[in-house]
Amino acid sequence: MEASQSPQSPLPVFPSGLEPKEIAQACGLDEAYRAKQLYSWIVKGAPSFDAMTSLPQELRALLDQRFGGLRSSSVSSALEDGDGSLKLQVRLRDGAAVECVLLEDIEGRKTACLSSQVGCPMACQFCRTGTLGFLRNLGPDEIMEQFYFLKERRGFISNVVFMGMGEPLLNLPAVRKACFLLSDPEGLGMSLRKITISTSGIVPGILDLTEHGPKVRLAVSLTTADDALRTELMPVNKRWDLTELKAALLEYQAKTRERITLELVLLGDRNADKESAEKLLRWIGPLRAQVNIIPWNSVPGLPFKEPSKAQLKAFSEHLASQGLICVQRMHRGRGVMGACGQLGDTLRADP
Ligand code: SAH
Ligand code: SF4
């Protein structure tokens, strides 16, 4: 699969996905200050054109007519987990649906987990989204609106992770624009260091990020350092194997000097043994990496097993004993099928 093969969203972009100069053009505004006003209302989380009270009434009405509302999407369902997680299903203009999740850690820090595509073409065997197939890329407006919907319900969000549905590096133009809008000092002003892009290992996308930024944090879903097993579990490995992936990561690291996060979904009977941990340590070699262990979140119908507590403990202790920084992800969001790899209630929302 080539990075350029993925279809872009064919839909015109709503103001929520535009920066001021583009807003001026899309909204037919002659005066730059009007576009800036509109932008600052969007950033503040205004829910409609009508709420933008510093804009003339006629202009608000005109914009509402032109776009049919401020937002291109709407929330079609909200599910709260007992652990504080919130999962929203967002209905898009063409009837498709994606999901996004707000995760809150024990210190109260809020992270928005956003989707970048409707479904996912990567077909990882252990992932619910991967079983659904792929419909299309999201536009930057559709990505940003997920953020605004979560912020509306839960207040200040300090971190964003592109770990919802889809492969963000196959939709880099829209993801890049969303990173710009999230971090714009004139707008939301989030530090790029609080944004993480997680990829299954799209080598041209990693090289593109290396060359052109943005300088966000990079996470790579490695799963296993065994080529044959990775090819079985993650078809992306057929196109870019572990050798090519590592070369790209070394290049990324030489240029950015940033530590990489390697995500490891632990499947009870496949990659959780001592030999797998040792293979991983050998593969990592000179890479500066932190490992995030994610115990497999069960997905009905998929033939994998959650790792036992003992397996998890032994695996992480083995990595840590060799000096590797190793974090175990909690199960946040499981109660609403909102944890890693569990998203995908529907691609097409109910009519
Ligand atoms: N598509 C991107 C980002 C979204 S997936 C990627 O694959 O990196 C986010 C993380 O969830 C990835 O690390 C993926 O390996 C992991 N994941 C997928 N299915 C899972 C499951 N059922 N249980 C636990 N983690 C899973
Ligand atoms: Fe897509 Fe990521 Fe799921 Fe793989 S793990 S199918 S890349 S969403």
* Ligand nearest the Cα atom of residue 298: 1
CA distance 273 to 270: 8
CB 237 within 8 A of CB 123: no
Nearest protein Cα to ligand 1, atom 3: 163
Report residue 53: phi and psi, to 5°. Answer: -70, -15
Does the pLDDT at position 74 exceed 70? yes
pLDDT tens-digit readout, 81-115: 888 899 999 999 999 999 999 999 888 899 999 99
Atom of ligand 2 nearest to the CA of 166: 8
The arithmetic mean of pLDDT across residues 109-127, rounded, is 96
* Exposure of 308 in the CB half-sphere (CA atoms within 13 A): 5
CA distance 221 to 242: 12
Whole-number Å distance, alpha carbon 193 to ligand 2 midpoint, is 23
Cβ of 301: how many Cβ atoms within 10 Å? 7
**pLDDT for the residue 68:** 93
**pLDDT for the residue 350:** 46
Of 121, 122, 128, which Cα lies nearest the Cα of 231? 122
Residues near ligand 1 with C-beta < 6 Å? 126-127, 163, 167, 198-200, 221, 263, 265, 294, 296-297, 299, 340-341
What's the token pair of residue 346? 């529907």
Over pLDDT 70: what percentage of the chain? 92
Which residues are catalytically annotated?
99, 340
CB 304 within 8 A of CB 229: no
Does the pLDDT at position 1 exceed 50? no
**pLDDT for the residue 342:** 74
276's CB contacts (< 8 A; 6+ apart) are: 224, 225, 226, 315
229's CB contacts (< 8 A; 6+ apart) are: 270, 271
Nearest protein Cα to ligand 2, atom 4: 124
pLDDT tens-digit readout, 260-301: 999 999 999 999 999 999 999 999 999 999 999 999 998 999
CB 236 within 8 A of CB 244: no
Judge residue 211's burial from the number of C-beta atoms within 10 Å of its C-beta, 0-12 exposed, 13-18 middle, 19 or more buried. Answer: exposed
Residue with tokens 């999407």, as numbered in its chain: 73
Of 171, 180, 162, which Cα lies nearest the Cα of 115? 162
Atom of ligand 1 nearest to the CA of 166: 1
What DSSP state is assigned to residue 80?
Answer: E
**pLDDT for the residue 345:** 67
Write down all domains in the chain, each with its CATH number in brackets: 15-67 (no CATH), 74-336 (3.20.20.70)
Report residue 66: phi and psi, to 5°. Answer: -65, -45
CA distance 203 to 209: 10
Which band of pLDDT confidence, cut at 50, 70 and 90, is reported for residue 47?
A: very high
Whole-number Å distance, alpha carbon 178 to ligand 1 midpoint, is 21
CA distance 42 to 337: 30
| Pair type for strands 97-104 and 110-113 | antiparallel
**pLDDT for the residue 201:** 98
Atom of ligand 1 nearest to the CA of 221: 13
Stretch among 216-225, 236-245, 306-315, 326-335 having the lowest mean pLDDT: 326-335
Tell me which amino acid residue 325 is.
I
Distances (CA, A) of 33 to 36, 141, 314: 5, 21, 60
Q: Which of the listed residues 114, 115, 129 should we mutate to test ligand 2's pocket, taking the one with most ligand atoms within 8 A of CB?
A: 129
Whole-number Å distance, alpha carbon 259 to ligand 2 midpoint, is 22
Whole-number Å distance, alpha carbon 69 to ligand 1 midpoint, is 34
The arithmetic mean of pLDDT across residues 307-323, rounded, is 94
pLDDT tens-digit readout, 168-210: 999 999 999 999 999 999 999 999 999 999 999 999 999 999 9
Which band of pLDDT confidence, cut at 50, 70 and 90, is reported for residue 320?
A: very high
| Claim: this prediction has a pTM higher than 0.75 | yes
Does the pLDDT at position 349 exceed 50? no
Stretch among 22-31, 264-273, 328-337 having the lowest mean pLDDT: 328-337
What is the dihedral angle through the alpha carbons of 30, 32, 35, 39, rounded to the nearest 10 degrees?
170
Atom of ligand 1 nearest to the CA of 199: 8
Whole-number Å distance, alpha carbon 329 to ligand 2 midpoint, is 17
Q: Which of the listed residues 294, 296, 297, 332 should we mutate to test ligand 1's pocket, taking the one with most ligand atoms within 8 A of CB?
A: 294
